[in-house]
Amino acid sequence: MQCWICASPANGTCRFCGRAVCREDAKTHPFVLEVYPSDGNLYGLAVEDALHCGVCKPRPEPVLMDFLASPKVPNDAKALNAAKAPTAAKAPTAAKPRKTKKSDE
Ligand SMILES: [Zn+2]
Ligand SMILES: [Zn+2]
């Protein structure tokens, strides 16, 4: 593999984007391996000098993943399901009382 920046033989790949870089062009960037809560605080396991290509831009702040939120169900589909459920439940309950009445008499 060749360096993304100068096309000489690469010495490693960026921890963030996967680009290959040579020793001269390689940079370092802190990389958080894991964040875990303890005693009400958040602790992180991090590598201080993870290999960074210098091209990609790891975000210094969290990015809101609003596009991963649950997909919106059309209101029409919800209304159809809500309307179907009660009618289906009515049939069995209507049939049961007749049998119990007969056994009581
Ligand atoms: Zn290079
Ligand atoms: Zn990179």
In tens digits, what is the pLDDT along the chain, a chain of 105 residues? Answer: 999 999 999 999 999 999 999 999 999 999 988 999 999 999 989 999 999 999 999 887 878 888 888 776 666 666 666 665 555 555 555 555 555 555 566
pLDDT of residue 100: 56
Ligand (nearest to CA of 53): 2
Residue 29 structure tokens? 């960037």
**pTM over cut 0.75:** no
pLDDT of residue 51: 96
1 Cα to the center of ligand 2, angstroms: 15
pLDDT of residue 54: 95
pLDDT of residue 14: 97
pLDDT of residue 65: 82
59 Cα to the center of ligand 2, angstroms: 12
Q: CA 12, CA 26: separation in Å to the nearest integer?
A: 8
Q: How far is the CA of 97 from the CAs of 32, 87, 100, 104, in angstroms?
A: 64, 17, 5, 11
Domain ranges of the chain: 12-104
